[in-house]
């Protein structure tokens, strides 16, 4: 079975706490119910999610559900460091140091779909050498075909 992987930055994850209507409600329902939905994360990002969204939020419920059913791809620190050693030479980033840690999560994922409202992270992903043309980044879930294979 092919998984539909997606990266969600913390600034958009908080919008999934209590989505009532619209595009974030559709994303929330997709993450909750589609058996092929897969969230790509790192341990550091999971900590950031819980710190920003709270441990008793709608998004923490989604995280627990994805974990329980094996629908979360967690990249290890060693994988992220290896990627950085291989590709981060001579790159002038616009994003801050914390967000630079997120770039390998997106670029190591299968589909390279990212939901973020951070314009500097978006720029770095879309202009990353050898990967930029493969990445789909948006602030709006409706602009990413997350529910398609």
**pLDDT (mean) for 70-76:** 96
**pLDDT (mean) for 127-143:** 94
What is the structure's pLDDT at 2? Answer: 66
Secondary structure string (H, E, C) spanning the chain = CCCEEEEECHHHHHHHCCCCCHHHHHHHHHHHHCCCEEEEEEHHHHHHHHHHHCCCCHHHHHHHHHHHCCCEEEECHHHHHHHHHHHCCCCCCCCCHHHHCCHHHHHHCCCCEEECCCHHHHHHHHCCCCCHHHCEEECCHHHCCCCCC
What is the structure's pLDDT at 54? Answer: 83
What is the structure's pLDDT at 85? Answer: 96
* Percent with pLDDT over 70 in the chain: 99
pLDDT tens-place string over residues 85-104 = 999 988 999 999 999 999 99
Domains and CATH numbers, the chain: 4-143 (3.40.50.1010)
What is the structure's pLDDT at 132? Answer: 85
Give yes or no for residue 138 having a pLDDT over 90: yes
**pLDDT (mean) for 73-88:** 96
pLDDT, mean over the chain:
93
pLDDT tens-place string over residues 21-58 = 789 999 999 999 999 999 999 999 999 999 998 878 88
């Amino acid at each position: 079975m092919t998984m539909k992987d997606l990266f969600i930055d913390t600034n958009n994850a908080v919008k999934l706490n209590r989505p009532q209507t619209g595009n974030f409600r559709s994303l929330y329902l997709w993450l909750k119910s589609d058996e092929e939905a897969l969230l790509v994360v790192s341990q550091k990002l999971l900590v950031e999610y819980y710190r920003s969204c709270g441990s008793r939020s709608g998004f923490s419920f989604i995280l627990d559900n994805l974990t329980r059913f094996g629908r979360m791809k967690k990249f290890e620190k060693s994988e992220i460091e290896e990627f950085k050693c291989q590709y981060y030479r001579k790159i002038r980033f616009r994003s801050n140091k914390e967000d630079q840690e997120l770039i390998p999560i997106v670029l190591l994922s299968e589909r390279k779909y990212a939901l973020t409202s951070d314009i500097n992270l978006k720029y770095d992903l879309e202009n990353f050498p050898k990967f930029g043309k493969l990445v789909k980044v948006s602030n709006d879930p409706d602009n990413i075909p997350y529910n398609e294979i």
